[in-house]
Amino acid sequence: MRALAALLLGLAFALCSVARAGPPDVEARQLLVMLRAPAVHDRPDTAYAGDYRNAPGHAARARIAQRLATAHGLTMRTDWPMPALGLDCFVLEAPDAASVAAAVAALAQDPRVESVQAMQRFEVLGAKAPGDPLSPAQPVIAQWRLQELHAFTTGKGVSVAVIDTGVASTHPDLKGQVVVSRDFINDKPTNTIAEAHGTEVAGLIAARADNRLGIAGVAPGARLYALRACREDGPRGVAHCSSFTLAKALQFSIEQRVRVLNLSLSGPPDVLLARLIDVALRNGANVVAAVDARAADGGFPASHRDVLAVAGDARQEVAFAAVVAPATALPTTTADGGWGLVDGASFAAAQVSGLVALLRQRAPRAGSAFLRDAVAPPAALGSGPARPHPVDACAAVARAQRACACGCGSRAIAEESSRH
């Protein structure tokens, strides 16, 4: 009897362990199949308004996806609209990770399939810095002369998507800053899950200013869209996302016409995400992404064309144009309602997203490419492998608004502005 009890206890422990380790293992067995939706969905501004299951032709496309799954020994798990691309995206699951590549190759030959790819894994790029309590000084306050910039631009009304883990919207330094909250991990219209990385990123972008608490975000007047597409799966802010969850968040950002998309994460090149990023850029949004110091190519989406790539280490050489922003011992908001120090390129990118919001308030009609070049001038960056160029926030604002910034302390900035 004792032996049986021990066996059952061991089995229960094993099952619990499998369940806890489930999501990453499951994603390794999944693939994304895109089926062409009706022409009406080809408009990037088309939204399903919560009625996707009754959208024209959805049932027919679901049947096709089910037939494809059955024919290739796969299981259909879920689906989501991608009207920005005129597609419906279906998640199919293989019996094991080893069979995914063969399934992708086979499905790519089927004329009913618009495109197919393996599910990919992305990780956020930052961790809590060890050691002392919150520092009283933020590096960008002095380096970017934020107090001078905030006198005439706070990013007021500019929408910024934090595509990340959950954001603690009730944090005293973030109250009222989050205007939209969605959970694309659990497919919920609101998100109440407070997680480390997303909250830290949100604070650096838009923490409230002049409230006698904590810190001031780079763009305290910005409107945050807290889009949970990544989940925490370990201590110290470790989190991961998938192609599917990120695609859902990008699609939502496009539908809502969010002006700045912050992607403080990295992974392998991804066809579906690249297509959605291209649509967002064509629609006038700026996409800001963190450079991955561990990846030889700097990681995706930072390596994607026309994305504003941000590194956290000025010594790092990258194969594409990039800027560098402060990334060490940055005080920011934490998920438990307090403040702490963080390190990493994730947080360098967050501050640059805030800077882009400042520029957008001053130049609301400017195109995304113009604003990207204001932060990262092509002449300064050059081409080919090089070290990232330091961000000059005052010069960026001067270029964007074609007028003096920060008291016109630099004659070069004033002269350059007058030429535009």
User: Which is it for the CA torsion 347, 348, 352, 353, positive or negative?
Assistant: negative
Q: What share of the chain is helix, strand, coil (3-state, %, to 5)?
A: 35, 20, 40
Top CATH class of 123-419 equals: alpha beta
Sheet strands side by side (includes 159-164): 178-183, 223-228, 159-164, 260-263, 286-290, 308-311, 323-324, 389-390
User: What does the DSSP 8-state code read for residue 201?
Assistant: H
**For residues 204 and 348, what is the distance between their CA atoms, to the nearest angstrom?**
9
Q: Return the closest-CA partner of residue 266 out of 286, 284, 290, 235.
A: 290
User: Alpha-carbon distance 252 to 49, whole Å?
Assistant: 11
Greater pLDDT, 246 or 389 = 246
Helices (H), 236-344: 243-255, 271-282
The reported pLDDT for the residue numbered 418 is 41
Q: What is the pLDDT of residue 315?
A: 86
Q: Are 267 and 299 in contact (CB under 8 A)?
A: yes
Is domain 22-119 classified as CATH 3.30.70.260? yes
CA pair distance 366, 359, nearest whole angstrom = 9
Percent of the chain whose predicted confidence (pLDDT) is above 70: 82
Q: What is the mean pLDDT of residues 120-145?
A: 73
Q: Is the peptide bond before 301 cis (omega within 30 degrees of 0)?
A: yes
In whole angstroms, what is the distance from residue 383 CA to residue 305 CA?
Answer: 13
Give tens-digit pLDDT for 359-378: 999 999 999 999 999 999 88
* pLDDT for 380 beyond 70: no
Determine which one of 242, 346, 353, 368 is catalytic. Answer: 346
294 vs 41, residue with greater confidence: 294
Query: What pLDDT is stored for residue 10 in this prediction?
Result: 40
Q: Is 135 one of the catalytic residues?
A: no
pLDDT tens digits along 174-218: 999 999 999 999 999 988 899 999 999 999 999 999 888 889 999
pLDDT tens digits, 313-333: 888 888 888 999 999 999 999
CB distance 177 to 118 below 8 Å: no
Model confidence pLDDT, tens digit, residues 257-310: 999 999 999 999 999 999 999 999 999 999 999 999 999 889 999 999 999 999
The CA-atom distances, in angstroms, between 82 and each of 55, 209, 255, 265 are 12, 37, 10, 21
The reply to whether domains 22-119 and 123-419 share a CATH topology is no
Is 164 an active-site residue? yes
- The 3-class secondary structure across 25-37, one letter per residue, is HHHHCEEEEEEEC
**Cα–Cα distance between 23 and 20 in angstroms, integer?**
8
Rounded distance, CA 346 to CA 165, Å?
Answer: 12
Q: Which of 88, 164, 270, 373 is catalytic?
A: 164
Domain range list for the chain: 22-119, 123-419
Largest CA distance in the chain: 88
pLDDT in tens, 76-104: 999 999 999 999 999 999 999 999 999 99
Sequence-separated (6 or more) residues with CB below 8 Å from residue 11: none
Instruction: Calculate mean pLDDT across residues 397-405.
Output: 87
What average pLDDT does the segment 91-120 reach? 97
Q: What pLDDT shows up at residue 385?
A: 64
pLDDT number for residue 415: 45
The 10s digit of each residue's pLDDT in 151-161 is 989 999 999 99
Whether 346 sits among the annotated catalytic residues: the reply is yes
pLDDT of residue 170: 96
Mean pLDDT of the chain: 86
Q: What is the pLDDT of residue 213?
A: 86
Distance, CA of 103 to CA of 93 (rounded, Å): 10
pLDDT at site 407: 72
Summarize pLDDT for 18-33 with one digit per residue, the tens: 333 345 688 999 999 9
Q: Of these residues, 72, 197, 304, 389, which one is catalytic? A: 197
pLDDT value at residue 384: 59
The residue among 80, 96, 71, 97 whose CA lies nearest residue 33 is 80
DSSP for 343-388 reads ESHHHHHHHHHHHHHHHHHH-TT--HHHHHHHHS-HHHH-SSSBPP
